[in-house]
Amino acid sequence: MNVAAAVAEVPEEDRLRADLYNYLGLMLAGPPDQLLLDQSAALTGDETDLGQAINGLARVAKISKPKAVQTEYNALFIGLGRGELLPFASYYLTGFLNEKPLANLRATMADFGMTRADGVFEPEDNIASLMEMMAGMVVGRFGRVASVAEQQTFFNLHIGTWATHYFNDLQGAKSSILYASVGAVGLAFMEIEKEAFRMTAS
């Protein structure tokens, strides 16, 4: 089955999940340009915690300018030597970079035929890459749609163990303005995913 056919078979709910994973991956991979800020400003949510977080993000995106967001991004993730936050599973789980969580992720990636993009030199266990990987698994970007059990295993092993702590830290980081809202969306979404997988398993 080709990838286009696989994506066509993905239920609407899963496509929306993948869209949100992709969006978070995009926002966390680099500072958004004016187009992405405009798209963020146009987002609308419902009365749920996630919906309210999305509405909050849209409000902040509406008054954000690319130059200010770039400064914010640099302070949070790059800094002089290092940014305010280190967005890597290994760091959150062990206190060090390039530790066992990264080796475990690389083994999972190999099983799924995932490879690191050319020109990307950061360790693969950064939060942006993990969001993109999860999106790809949901819609079959790696050749086939991952089963719910495979998605759950990937989430539990590589995301659920630390992403809620990370998004919480992003929300509270002193340099966070736009990214505090990104953190709120990420945190609400991770809680929904965690609970959905828990209910699937029970």
> Alpha helices, DSSP H only, in the chain?
3-8, 12-29, 34-41, 49-62, 66-77, 89-94, 100-112, 127-139, 148-154, 163-172, 178-201
What's the confidence (pLDDT) of residue 8?
A: 54
Report whether pLDDT(1) > 50.
Answer: no
Question: SS3 for 126?
Answer: strand
Confidence of residue 9 (pLDDT cuts 50, 70, 90): confident
The model scores a pTM over 0.75: yes
Number of domains in the chain: 1
Tell me the average pLDDT across 188-200.
Answer: 95
For 66-99, write each residue's pLDDT tens digit.
999 999 999 999 987 889 999 999 999 999 999 9
pLDDT digits (tens, 9 = 90+) for 114-130: 988 877 788 999 999 99
Domain that holds residue 130: 3-201
CATH of the domain at 183: 1.10.3480.10
